[in-house]
Every structure is written in structure tokens, then in C-alpha cells.
Amino acid sequence: MDHYPAGCALIRDEHRTLAALLHALRHLVRELRGGHTKADFTLLRAIVYYIDAYPERMHHPKEELHLFTALERRTHEADADIRVLRNEHENGARLIRDLGHQLLRYEHEGATGFAMFAAAVEAYASFYYQHMEREENHIIPLALRHLTPEDWGAIDAAFAENHDPLKGVDEKQFRDLFSRIVNLAPAPIGVGAASRTA
């Protein structure tokens, strides 16, 4: 097709937001492991909450309802990947719950809980990077090849509707959280202090 559909750009935008959050989380874990900073549980909870609420409530349902179903209607070429991705959406929900649980343990048990929390962060981040790669490298190219302008019209509208996770019902809650993440996270993620030592 001769123009890049808005829905594609919006999906990639949402992936960039998620990747930034994962990057922030990994960065904080590295700082904590190196003993350069004291755990800021307000910030860690805000990031984990945001990651949990955003893919689960907004991103995955839109992908399944609009992009995957349209593609399944037009071709069987994507069936195997879509099966994997739908399973991963379910697994992702389990992994992020585990991450939240490990964060709680870390907060209550202190240093002894750190290793499990760090492992849960790594498990979720590497899982999710792979997931986004499969969507961007397999699904989007097939969608660009097989979907019609009418299909894209519906997808564009669905993704534009609440493309910005800071809009809609949870607008204030999400906006507060996001600015907290950006304000508290050290550079290069945010504008907070470079390190907060004990």
C-alpha cells in the first residue's frame, strides 16, 4: 500500500512507550544491584502499576480485537504467529502479576527479596521485548501486505480512540503516574536526581 496506515504508527508508538517503561525499570534494577541508590518503592510501584494497567486494559485488547481478527479474515499466513501472540498476552498477564508480587516481597523483606524481584523484572522485560519484535517484524508486515484500506480504516479508528493511555476514563490517574515516573526516574529516563543514596 502506498501510505503508511495511522494504526501502524499508533501501535509502534504504544510499543515505544512500553519499551521506555521497561528500560526505566531495568535501569533502576541495575542501579540497585550496584548499590548506587536506595530503593524508591513509590517509583517502582508506579512503573509496575503502569505497565500492568496499560498493556492489559488498552494495548492487548485492541490488538486482538482489531488487528489480529482483521488479519485472520484475510490470510492464514499469520495464524501461527497470532496463536503465539494471543498466548503471550495471557502469559504476560501472569508475568506482570508475578512481578508485582515480587516487588511487594522486596518492599517487605528488604535486601533478601531483591534477587527474586530483579529476576522477575528481567523475565518480564525480555519476554515483552520479544513479543513486540514478533508483532513488528511478522504481524505488521503481513498486515501491510494483506489488509484493505477498509480494514485499516477500522484499525486506525480503534487505535486512535484511546491511543494515548493518558486519555479517557483513567486520564488523571495515568497522567499523574506518568509524570511521577518521568520526574522521579534518574537520567537518562527522566529528570530526577541522578542518584539517591541512602
Nearest partner of 51 among 124, 110, 113, judged by Cα: 124
Supply 104's cell numbers. 511487594
Least distance from C-beta 153 to Fe ion, angstroms?
20
Closest approach, Cβ 62 to Fe ion, in A, equals 9
CB of 132 to Fe ion, least distance (A): 6
Distance of CA 198 to the CA centre of its chain: 30
Residue 156 binds Fe ion (CB under 5 A): no
Judged by CB under 5 A, the residue of 22, 44, 135, 185 near Fe ion is 135
Q: What three-state secondary structure class fits 46?
A: helix
Least Å distance between CB 154 and Fe ion?
17
Q: Are 99 and 124 in contact (CB under 8 A)?
A: yes
Q: With respect to Fe ion, which residue has the nearer C-beta, 31 or 63?
A: 63
> In the range 32-71, which residues lie near Fe ion by CB under 5 A?
63
Chain positions 163 to 192 lying near Fe ion, rule: CB under 5 A, are none
Question: Please, which residue, 135 or 151, has the CB nearer to Fe ion?
Answer: 135
Q: Is the dihedral of CA 32, 124, 108, 182 positive or negative?
A: positive
Percent helix, strand and coil across the chain, each to the nearest 5: 80, 0, 20
Q: Please work out the total of residues on this chain that contact Fe ion, with binding judged by CB under 5 A.
A: 2
| Residue ranges in contact with Fe ion by CB under 5 A | 63, 135
